[in-house]
Amino acid sequence: MKCLGLLCLLATGLSTLSVGAVVEGLKHKYYHRSCPQAEEIIANMMENFTSADQRVPARIIRMHFHDCFVRGCDGSILLNSTPVNKAEKDAPPNNPSVKGFELIDQIKEVLENKCPGVVSCADILTFATRESVHLSGKFERYQVRGGRKDGKISRESDALLNLPPPSANVQLLVQMFANKGLSLEDLVTLSATSDLR
């Protein structure tokens, strides 16, 4: 559980690192007028998911990490492959190890019923990650800015270039994390999510 605590600390900073979305235009209580229940809905659904499966927080944190590492925290990991494009989620660093896509889909479906076309998938994943940190039982719920726009590009090649391959040695892992401004401790913490999923 110590590892989950470290992972939660790291997740709180993902959106503000160089791998995160640009902070310009993002603000606290972004959906206050357009979809006032959005954060509460996400919180309640994440609590229900976690009650049913204690692995959910680690899975969502890992998904967020993999999303932010590629094109920034834009939700591009959630996009499906097409006949002419293999998406990030199907790249070897993500498939079959990243889990929980169906949970984000369920949250999106509920939010679409309440506030059609308002809450981005990128924000849903970011708020779900915040809830995952909170549900670890070690941290208070922290403020998260909203207003991320969903990425429209998702390529296997981008995931292969930016995410460590499953066969990466320590030297490559250290270098790839350093390229994103992350330390050796960050590497160990985020890599441990493989054991928690």
Round to whole Å and give the CA distance between 181 and 3: 20
Q: Which amino acid is at 90?
A: D
Q: Are 72 and 21 in contact (CB under 8 A)?
A: yes
Round to whole Å and give the CA distance between 122 and 3: 25
Is residue 66 part of the annotated active site? The answer reads yes
**Catalytic residue of the set 28, 64, 66, 134:** 66
Show Cβ contacts of residue 12 under 8 Å, excluding neighbours closer than 6 positions.
130, 133, 139, 142
- 67: number of CA atoms within 13 Å, CB side? 32
Task: Give me the active site residues, please.
Answer: 66
